[in-house]
Chain A
């Protein structure tokens, strides 16, 4: 049965996701050990312990995200995150760094290891490497593959496959992006931050247009009344030699929404479907998780799922099926 994997940025979001029908929730600690190291988000050890017990009593799994890359000299923080997770009884670790994977596989061999999307394992050979050496049980695939490619990978590997279906649409290969660090001095890989709010500013012009900046660099300017997504470098608008008018050089401010493709994903052999958004509100989590829960239940019962509500939730009301539907996206 295909699992629904849901974001838990806070203890309240965890309970909400569990109540809304998540098969598993994923969460991280309040530090650089996970890729959503944002102020006001994530868990203390005590909160995680309570979260695990709440989830477990309702039959939901808890996956601990330790998916950033420890810089030399700071490895212990990542190891102790795993140790605490093991102590409170999480169901799996989601990791990317090889040194950490090696540690976790040896120190906590009874806890499942999932390969984070931050490891960017996009070929059967890469996935097999992690399975062979660290006993990885599930790989979270990068958001760059078409469904036929996912089906092909499924045939060539033995571990489970998890794919993102909804939320932020990462453009760059995860775990290989230093764009934020280039403008802000804070690293996505080492600090767990992407376009940190502390470095974002909005400047309003007299004509009512609004410019967003990161680290002092303008990322976009939009007219009065237009809706804008959160400013990130890969959704910014730039002037290119052939595009003097300014254009979204990497991607428009769109969100990923694969609700239309759920049957195909399941048929391709995907074991778990992941909703992005640990930075999202409790009510967002409730709405999205409930909608996908009933969609998956409908599919299981041979019915056509109703997913109209999900479209309205996507960033700036614009959605994409990204790489999944066609190679032309590339």
Chain B
């Protein structure tokens, strides 16, 4: 049993050139099979990268990676509605929908269901499949027991089923921009201050304990989700796709660690040790998978 390794959309507002360089390296060096592109967090950011998108898509496809375009998670304003409808109307590449408005516009044509869509259970997954979903990314907070049942349902329906195994967890989205708020601005005059924080803006508790990261309208976990030790159980459950969410670390190296660990080329213990070194200073966590507080790191039997 193996699984496809994917790279999720970049959650942060990296400069367009940084994104181009990042994807060039992903195309050439990363051991991921599929790459999700597009702005999922803030519609104001989208224009910066749009012009580069066709080149990045062809670069990745030439390197043998499948490309999927992800839609915005929060859709309220006119430009957001328009962007969502336009994406939903694309024939190719494949699209991943993150807002119900996109499902309406897609009108039953084949699509992927993104992690913001709340596909928590077998009934909802069954419903989504009947409406044209070909692939489901499960919510980040779903515990192992529910993942197993959801994955079985999805596989029985011949859907791809995906779980995020690396990177900060998206814990909440809002209409309000907390990056702008931190700088005494509002969303409309944010001046793209989120660009200053390529790995999110850290928040600490008043007694100086790191807790969350702000990314525009999104709130992320301080810790990186790390399910290296759980990739084996996930694949056994029938999870077909494992997602790495881009963070400001060496994502090529991260992809190698996951691929090698999934293929049994290195031990979980060694992979985890190397991952911890790569992500120096950032705690790793797997609590959600184990039904515990998400920030926790629960020890797994490292042997397989």
Asked if A228 is an interface residue, CB under 8 A from chain B, the answer is: no
B169, A129: Cβ atoms closer than 8 Å? no
> In the complex, how many angstroms separate the beta carbon of B187 from the nearest chain A beta carbon?
4
Asked if B109 is an interface residue, CB under 8 A from chain A, the answer is: no
> In the complex, how many angstroms separate the beta carbon of B100 from the nearest chain A beta carbon?
4
Asked if A25 is an interface residue, CB under 8 A from chain B, the answer is: no
Closest to B85 in A: A125
Q: How far is the CA of A122 from the CA of B186 in the complex (A)?
A: 20
Beyond the given pairs A97-B118, A126-B99, A178-B170, 13 more chain A to chain B contacts, judged by CB atoms under 8 angstroms and listed by A's residue number, are: A69-B124, A72-B147, A73-B146, A98-B127, A173-B173, A177-B172, A178-B140, A181-B293, A185-B287, A189-B139, A219-B205, A240-B202, A249-B214
B103, A129: Cβ atoms closer than 8 Å? yes
Q: How far is the CA of A121 from the CA of B81 in the complex (A)?
A: 12
Interface centre among B104, B127, B221 (most CB of A within 10 A): B104
Asked if B175 is an interface residue, CB under 8 A from chain A, the answer is: yes
Contact of A72 among B131, B153, B183, B294 (CB under 8 A): B153
Q: How far is the CA of A128 from the CA of B186 in the complex (A)?
A: 30
Q: Which residues of B contact A133 (CB under 8 A)?
A: 131
Q: Which residues of A contact B205 (CB under 8 A)?
A: 217-219, 236, 238-239
Contact of A249 among B142, B182, B221, B292 (CB under 8 A): B182
B76, A121: Cβ atoms closer than 8 Å? no
> In the complex, how many angstroms separate the beta carbon of A258 from the nearest chain B beta carbon?
16
Q: How far is the CA of A123 from the CA of B175 in the complex (A)?
A: 13
Q: List, sorted by A's number, 5 A–B pairs whose CB atoms are closer than 8 Å.
A: A123-B99, A125-B105, A128-B104, A187-B141, A243-B182
A185, B171: Cβ atoms closer than 8 Å? no
Q: Which residues of B contact A126 (CB under 8 A)?
A: 75, 99-101, 104
A130, B100: Cβ atoms closer than 8 Å? yes
Q: Which residues of B contact A130 (CB under 8 A)?
A: 100
Q: Which residues of A contact B188 (CB under 8 A)?
A: 327-328, 330
Interface size on B, residues (CB 8 A): 79
Q: Interface of chain B, helix or strand or loop or mixed?
A: mixed
B100, A129: Cβ atoms closer than 8 Å? yes
Q: Which of A40-48, A52-60, A99-107, A311-319 lies at the binding interface?
A: A99-107
Interface size on A, residues (CB 8 A): 73
A99, B124: Cβ atoms closer than 8 Å? yes
Asked if B57 is an interface residue, CB under 8 A from chain A, the answer is: no
Q: Which residues of B contact A330 (CB under 8 A)?
A: 175-177, 180, 186-188
Interface centre among A98, A128, A251, A328 (most CB of B within 10 A): A98
Asked if A246 is an interface residue, CB under 8 A from chain B, the answer is: yes
Q: How far is the CA of A330 from the CA of B208 in the complex (A)?
A: 27
Asked if A221 is an interface residue, CB under 8 A from chain B, the answer is: yes
Q: How far is the CA of A220 from the CA of B205 in the complex (A)?
A: 8
> In the complex, how many angstroms separate the beta carbon of A191 from the nearest chain B beta carbon?
10
Complex interface bits, A246-269 against B, C-beta within 8 A gives 1, otherwise 0: 110111000000000000000000
Asked if A75 is an interface residue, CB under 8 A from chain B, the answer is: yes
B145, A99: Cβ atoms closer than 8 Å? no
> In the complex, how many angstroms separate the beta carbon of A176 from the nearest chain B beta carbon?
5
Asked if B211 is an interface residue, CB under 8 A from chain A, the answer is: yes
Closest to B118 in A: A69
